[in-house]
Amino acid sequence: MPDIWAFMRAVRNSDLSHPVKHVLLTLASLADPATGVIPERFTPSLTDLSRMTSLGRSTVAESLKAVDVENSENGEGWVKRVQPSMKDARMNKAKTQYALLVPASAQGGLVQDVDQPEPPKVDTGASPGDGLVQEPDGASPGAGHEVHDPTTEETKPPSSSAKPRKEKKDGEFREDADRICRYLAEWVVRNGSKRPTITDKWRTDARLMIDADKRSLEQIRAVIAWSQRHHFWRSRVLSVPRLRSEFDAIRLQMEGQNEQDRQRSGGNQPYRNPENQDDYNDWKKAPA
């Protein structure tokens, strides 16, 4: 089958109902990216899926039935399930096995979605450092420590020779967009990757998340922090353009997990980050 990213795009572009899309995207977040098979250690029960999606068990069951290959008249479907016997489920706690598929009717126009690194920009202006090669940043030796939120730093006035960065679209530097870019970059470094280059494309997509997609800064911060702690999403979201394209899939899974946490704690804790509450408070206090 196409890789899991093609599967997710096909689901989003389909005419499936909202509950069915929600269930399929949740399953995709658990599946092996190359094969579409959900490993045994991540295999969800019907109750697990109900909690992850905040949908009723009957709605989840009906959604799975609607896209199961076995229930399709033409042999096409989005999910191949191998269900254990009642005895095996009771005695050995066996769970249903899942393999995700893209029906032939939904494969038209699908292409592999692979991040391509952007070429470095060349500064043609003369400077004392002409001819020198800049050494790229390596993996952060402080990986695993608290994330530094650049928005809490004091802003130093630029020197007379420094030119402020400007977005090409509106000609004005956007502090809120740059803040999002720097916050994600700090998380990428914290997770052991090389510091990414914050490009104009990053800032444009950050601005569009705020202006066009109507995402609040607090919601974007929460999705970044949650995705960068998640075993699956932290290897997937390494740039702001990728964050924007996967935002809804991440948000839905995050909200499902938050719902589970609220049920366990009996309280309402929207976007709370129990692992690093100081980081959460620093972001709130920083100017918008």
Listed by start position, the domains of the chain span 4-106, 165-285
* pLDDT tens-digit readout, 213-231: 999 999 999 999 999 999 9
Q: Which helix (H) or strand (E) holds 81?
A: strand 79-82
Q: Please list the residues that pair with 81 across neighbouring strands.
A: 98
CA torsion through residues 270, 276, 278, 280, sign: negative
State the pTM of this model: 0.41
**pLDDT tens digit sequence for 149-170:** 554 555 455 554 545 454 444 4
pLDDT digits (tens, 9 = 90+) for 70-114: 887 777 788 888 877 877 777 777 788 888 888 887 777 555 444
Unique residue bearing structure tokens 């802003």: 155
Residue 18 burial class via C-beta count within 10 angstroms: exposed 0-12, middle 13-18, buried 19 and up: exposed
Any idea which residue has 């991040």 for tokens?
Answer: 115
Locate 5 and state its tokens.
């990213």
CATH top-level class of 4-106: mainly alpha
| Sign of the C-alpha dihedral computed for residues 222, 225, 231 and 235 taken in this order | positive
With contact defined as beta carbons under 8 Å apart, do 239 and 233 qualify? no
